[in-house]
Amino acid sequence: MRPVAFDYTAPSSVAEAVQALADGDDDTTVLGGGQSLMPVLRMRMADPSTVVDLSRIPELREVREDGDHLVIGAMVTHHVAAHDPLVAEHAGVLGQAAAAVGDPQIRYRGTIGGALAHADPAGDIGPAVLALDGVIELTGPSGTRSVPAGEFFAGPFTTVRDEGEVLTAIRIPKHTGWGMQYEKFSVVSQSWAIVAVAAVVRVEGGAVAECRLGLSNMGSTPLRASAAESAMTGRSVEASALEEAAALAGEGTEPPEDPAGTPAYRRHLAGVLAGRAVAGAAGLTG
């Protein structure tokens, strides 16, 4: 089906994009890579009056260093994030999660910022940004504000972004030297996660000094596995000790019930995947 007719604008700066949103009505919408928005338009589940396309704003496509942070432009595609050397060095789990999104065509078009703004609870990017303690930058008519990833997701497909704001970048503290691993379990390859876990671990003296775990599809938003993180801290890097702590990954979560799995199955899966992810991140497995 074809989308309903809409006006289209492709600004060349963030300021122009913000102005275009301010000039539009409530049905004006932003276009990132179009991998979620275009299917919605084609199914006529949305009928925007104006689409503001961000693809011609060069600064949104940059990955750059800013002191002890990495700044990833909102329009950086999953493909670029999966292959970028700065992402690999300082925020590797984001590159791994980006490489796990859909299929190559989707990764060539879909963007990191679009995936976060879309806020699918089964998405791959949210849990990685959460585990990396990322901060989302939003620019609107009154300037730019920074929202920690833990405060960004408000519910399924809902964030705290105001309609007049453009998600411009994700700032990630450099995790140089930390161990990281993304574990995704899906029904068939290249499909959405039944459950996924992003692990970010700092090992010191043979023990886990710091550990952050992001979960996908374990609730209405991406979540941190707080109980497992606490239990993990201080454990010696041995398979049995890590597995015991990882088994708590589903604690406090409310995973969905659907044909792919029951909540109990997903909690079990979260524990297994967290165990694998932390073991890999801590250097126990390849």
Write out the residues near ligand FAD by the rule CB under 6 A. 29-37, 39, 54, 74, 101-102, 106, 110-111, 113-115, 117-118, 120, 123-125, 166-167, 192
Min dist. Cβ of residue 198 to ligand FAD (A): 12
Instruction: List Cα–Cα distances, 69 to 9, 174, 175, 217, in angstroms.
Output: 32, 5, 9, 28
Min dist. Cβ of residue 166 to ligand FAD (A): 5
Amino acid at residue number 269: L
Instruction: List Cα–Cα distances, 275 to 36, 130, 181, 187, in angstroms.
Output: 31, 18, 11, 20
DSSP helix/strand/coil, 180: strand
Its sign, for the CA torsion 220, 222, 224, 225, is positive
Min dist. Cβ of residue 46 to ligand FAD (A): 8
User: Which of 111, 181 has the CB closer to ligand FAD?
Assistant: 111
Min dist. Cβ of residue 141 to ligand FAD (A): 14
Taking residue 133's Cβ as centre, other Cβ atoms within 10 Å add up to 17
User: Which of 117, 272 has the CB closer to ligand FAD?
Assistant: 117
User: Which of 27, 257 has the CB closer to ligand FAD?
Assistant: 27
Alpha carbon distance 271, 247 (integer Å): 4
Alpha carbon distance 25, 100 (integer Å): 36
Min dist. Cβ of residue 29 to ligand FAD (A): 5
Alpha carbon distance 281, 182 (integer Å): 9
Min dist. Cβ of residue 36 to ligand FAD (A): 4
Alpha carbon distance 234, 120 (integer Å): 33
* DSSP E strand stretches across 205-247: 207-216, 223-224
* DSSP 8-state symbol, 149: H
Name 200's bridge partners: 180, 212
Min dist. Cβ of residue 117 to ligand FAD (A): 3
User: Which of 110, 271 has the CB closer to ligand FAD?
Assistant: 110
Helix 239-246 vs helix 263-281: crossing angle, to nearest 10: 140
Spell out the residues 6+ positions from residue 26 whose beta carbon is closer than 8 angstroms to its own: 163
User: Which of 94, 242 has the CB closer to ligand FAD?
Assistant: 94
Min dist. Cβ of residue 120 to ligand FAD (A): 6
User: Which of 120, 229 has the CB closer to ligand FAD?
Assistant: 120
User: Which of 145, 202 has the CB closer to ligand FAD?
Assistant: 145
User: Which of 121, 208 has the CB closer to ligand FAD?
Assistant: 121
DSSP 257-273: -BTTB-HHHHHHHHHHH
